[in-house]
Chain A
Amino acid sequence: MMLARTADNLYWIARYMERAENLARMLRVTDRLSLMPSGADADGSEWHSTVIVSGAEEDFYRKYDEATPENVISYLAFDMENPSSIRSCIETARRNARAVRTALTTEQWECLNSAWLELPRWNETRVRGSGLHRFLDWVKDCSLLFTGGTVATMLRRDSYYFTRLGTFIERSDNTARILDVKYHVLLPEHAEVGGGIDYYQWASILRAVSGYRSYNAVYKEGLKPWLIAEFLVMREEMPRSLIGCAAEVKECLDKLGEEYGQRHECHRVAGQIYSRLRFGKVEDIFRQGLHEFLSEHIETNDRLGLEISRSYLLG
């Protein structure tokens, strides 16, 4: 048993850190793509699509006319008006952490506090040129340190499971978005991945979820959109796949159910999400339409988040 507010804070600390990491991953891949010699894509549409993936399209275009690299980096990395910018995420995570210090291990706290202390040193000027990659690596490191610190130091009881829930609910959402938007922008048909730009773009999806080398290790038959989708949706051994996240979420909720001796609506929803992925067939997903499938997943995942709040976090 723990304070509902504390559980809520832990859950959101993990979500914000995961979100910061995913943003960093996306920006990194986008920057990489924009360096590719390209014909059709010289219009910089990869920056536009990154804004869409981040879910901030409307607010971004209210502020800017054009998705230039500078605008996108400024908005997604540093803008405090954007509640989901990397800076906002780290600020919020640390503020939440300060409010629940007693529930965090020293390692977790020091990781969040150091990130926050270091944050003011990064700004638009410092990330010009090669500075961008140093910054994005740093963000990713902070998040990995937090996640690693959580797994390595936190007592396995409710507070741990709420933290982990935050990580996987957020990650599931992010992976779905990356796949969805890129899929749309890139290649709506079941075509083979051609050479050149196609190849880089599909590879970029995998890189955004640290799955490029893993994919090759699993499939050994080159990049195919079909397989990439299968890899990111239904392969449980892929830690950022939808089913990978769903399995972790289900596990955390089961543990909470055991500890508290009570199950809620969130358990049912989590079970439903998991079994759909576990027993579904990739052919069916493509028949339904990958975009439709992913939109539905994002929506159900949101609902699961709400159910978790309702069952535990509101007190």
Chain B
Amino acid sequence: MAHAIFDEMGGPGGDVRQAYRKLQSWLEETPLDILTLRREEAETFFRRIGITFAVYGEGGDPERIIPFDIIPRIIEAAEWKLISEGLMQRVRALNAFIADVYGAQEILRAGLVPRDQVLLNDTYRYQMQGVSVPHNVYTHIAGIDMVRVGAEDFYVLEDNCRTPSGVSYMLENREITMRLFPDLFSRYNVAPVDHYCDELMRTLASVAPRNCPGEPTVVVLTPGIYNSAYYEHSFLADQMGVELVEGPDLYVMDDIVYMRTTQGPKRVDVIYRRVDDEFLDPLTFKPDSVLGVAGLMNAYRAGNVNLTNAVGAGIADDKAIYTYVPKMVEFYLGEKPILKNVPTWRCSEKDDAAYVLEHLAELVVKEVHGSGGYGMLVGPKSTKEEIEAFGVRVKAAPDKYIAQPTLALSTCPTFVDEGVAPRHVDLRPFILSGADIRVVPGGLTRVAMREGSLVVNSSQGGGTKDTWVLKDRGA
């Protein structure tokens, strides 16, 4: 995979790719100080409406805004067709896998995924064994992180099956781009994303428990205002027109969940929870959690309420399990996987570990359960000392690590201090699964704002871009 870096605008040969031509000429005719002005306006907009993101443990402004890059990233209709079909296929397989794990465990019996990797995994929830959930769907909202390394080369980097965040940025970024650059926007035929929240609502309503008496009552459960993604929780609740609740707003009586309202108790049927498994119910998980609801798991297992995403869905997005996803697609769907996985070495296996330790300087090494870009090593970007220190950690607990080749992530023109320059990007589209499965044409493009950096995570100073999926007759 020793590709040259693929630039989404420039393409391999340096000729501006079809989809980017109008953007290119717009960039040429727009002076830099106008871009600077627009960027400031965007920042004011984000601050004013309070789209903030908390970064833990660094002091400073507790309500930081994620840098927004004003230059959109463009995906052509044909490219998107391939991506979205691949995404839906992958998420179907992931859901089938989770259902299988908590059901008949056929894939374990077939020996395709090692039993221990699943049953001894920290994300496996024995409490879910044998519990059936509506439509057999576990990851109702999935965020699949993808990278591009060539014109036709898309790889899945990571599956997020628990509580993927970022969709509010997809929507607000579009909002702000349309406001700041109506002239540029109107030159393109961009597929809309605004209906995401309607689709989300439809998805959530479609997985109401079978014994739900009427129109299901849906709520969004948030850990509260100090959570890093609180803005998103309130945004989604607002857009869907449902209540945003915290643990203490809910209680369980006779295995039925109620919320406390101005007119007394009101039964709740579907909880889109943005609280992690371990905090959901102090009677089942962490006993000192104040974020959850005592008795919630009993109500859930009794089929009186549905939780999205399902408890235990994390078993499918564990980085060690990731390597088996292409096999899952074949096993459950009998199809060839459309999207590729990045080749991955599992340090839990002796040969792989030996190879990884020898090649640390070339590889990206990640903690199996880590997320947000914490606890990872980017070999080619690290000092000798950092590499050695990391090597010691891998040797001490090889099971905790996987490694991947350093991918040449594609770049996209980005407005930075030096002017417009290429920066590395990834893509997180969101896939909704309920009675059926759907993807809104778009996603969150994350961009590493520093030159050469491959780390796009917002907790590490990454920014975001509006992502334009073109309609068929566009460009």
| B and A form one assembly | yes
**B219-274: which residues lie under 8 A (CB-CB) from chain A?**
224-225, 230, 234, 237-238, 243-246, 248-249, 259-264, 266
CB <8 Å contact, B266 and A4: no
Residues of B within 8 A of A (CB): 47-50, 224-225, 230, 234, 237-238, 243-246, 248-249, 259-264, 266
Is the C-beta of A50 less than 8 angstroms from some C-beta in chain B? no
Residues on B with C-beta less than 8 A from A113 are 48-50
Known contacts being A1-B261, A102-B244, is A110 close to B225, with CB within 8 Å?
A: no
Is the C-beta of A109 less than 8 angstroms from some C-beta in chain B? yes
Is the C-beta of A260 less than 8 angstroms from some C-beta in chain B? yes
CB <8 Å contact, A110 and B249: no
Shortest distance from the beta carbon of B51 to any chain A beta carbon, whole Å: 11
Is the C-beta of A79 less than 8 angstroms from some C-beta in chain B? no
Bound-complex Cα distance A4 to B265 (A): 10
Is the C-beta of A92 less than 8 angstroms from some C-beta in chain B? no
Choose among B50, B244, B260 the residue that contacts A315 (Cβ–Cβ < 8 A).
Answer: B260
CB <8 Å contact, B266 and A1: yes
**A74-103: which residues lie under 8 A (CB-CB) from chain B?**
95, 98-102
Choose among A7, A106, A109, A114 the residue that contacts B262 (Cβ–Cβ < 8 A).
Answer: A7
CB <8 Å contact, B49 and A106: yes
CB <8 Å contact, A102 and B262: no
Residues on A with C-beta less than 8 A from B245 are 3
Residues on A with C-beta less than 8 A from B49 are 106, 109-110, 113
Residues of A within 8 A of B (CB): 1-7, 95, 98-102, 106, 109-110, 113-114, 117, 158, 162, 260, 262, 312-315
CB <8 Å contact, A98 and B266: no
CB <8 Å contact, A1 and B263: yes
CB <8 Å contact, A3 and B249: yes
Known contacts being A99-B224, A101-B238, A315-B249, is A4 close to B50, with CB within 8 Å?
A: no
Dominant SS at the B interface? mixed
Residues on A with C-beta less than 8 A from B260 are 3-5, 314-315
Bound-complex Cα distance A276 to B238 (A): 42
Choose among B50, B237, B259, B262 the residue that contacts A313 (Cβ–Cβ < 8 A).
Answer: B262
Known contacts being A2-B243, A5-B248, A109-B49, is A102 close to B259, with CB within 8 Å?
A: no
Tell me which of B49, B234, B261 has the highest count of chain A C-beta atoms within 10 A of its own C-beta.
Answer: B261
CB <8 Å contact, B225 and A5: no
Known contacts being A98-B50, A315-B260, is A6 close to B243, with CB within 8 Å?
A: yes
Known contacts being A1-B262, A95-B225, A312-B262, is A114 close to B249, with CB within 8 Å?
A: no
Bound-complex Cα distance A114 to B225 (A): 18
CB <8 Å contact, B225 and A98: yes
Residues on A with C-beta less than 8 A from B261 are 1-4, 315
A-B pairs, 8 with minimum CB distance? A315-B260, A102-B238, A101-B234, A312-B262, A4-B260, A1-B263, A7-B262, A102-B237
CB <8 Å contact, B238 and A158: no
Of chain A, the residue at the smallest CB distance from B220 is A102
Q: List 14 A-B contacts (CB under 8 A).
A: A3-B259, A3-B260, A5-B249, A98-B50, A98-B230, A99-B225, A101-B50, A101-B238, A109-B49, A113-B50, A312-B262, A315-B261, A315-B262, A315-B264
CB <8 Å contact, B249 and A4: yes
Bound-complex Cα distance A260 to B238 (A): 23
Bound-complex Cα distance A114 to B45 (A): 11
Of chain A, the residue at the smallest CB distance from B248 is A5
Choose among B230, B238, B246 the residue that contacts A5 (Cβ–Cβ < 8 A).
Answer: B246
CB <8 Å contact, B263 and A260: yes
Shortest distance from the beta carbon of A30 to any chain B beta carbon, whole Å: 34
Of chain B, the residue at the smallest CB distance from A4 is B260
Bound-complex Cα distance A111 to B259 (A): 29
Additional pairs, 7, CB under 8 Å, beyond known A1-B266, A102-B234, A313-B262 = A1-B262, A5-B260, A98-B50, A98-B225, A101-B244, A110-B49, A312-B262
Bound-complex Cα distance A313 to B48 (A): 29
Residues on A with C-beta less than 8 A from B47 are 117
